[in-house]
Amino acid sequence: MTEAVLGAMSGLRVIDLTRVLGGPYCTQILADHGADVIKVEPPAGDEVRDWGPPFHEEDAAYFIGINRNKRSIGLDLASEGGRVVLLKMLETADVLIENFKPGTLEKWGIGNDVLSKNFPGLVLCRIAGFAPTVRAAAIPAMTPSSRQ
For the chain, the structural domain boundaries read 13-129
Burial of 58 (0-12, 13-18, 19+ CB in 10 A): exposed
Q: Using CA atoms, how far apart are residues 46 and 17, in angstroms rounded to an integer?
A: 10
- Averaged confidence pLDDT in the chain: 88
Measure Cα distances from 38 to 58, 85, 122 in Å: 21, 13, 15
Would you tell me how many other CB atoms lie within 10 Å of the CB of residue 100? 19
Tell me the CATH number of domain 13-129, given options 3.50.50.60, 2.40.37.10, 3.30.470.10, 3.40.50.10540: 3.40.50.10540
Could you report the per-residue pLDDT of 46-81, keeping only the tens digit for each? 888 888 889 888 888 999 899 999 999 999 999 999
Q: Which of 19-28, 42-51, 138-147 has the lowest mean pLDDT?
A: 138-147
Q: What is the pTM of this model?
A: 0.86
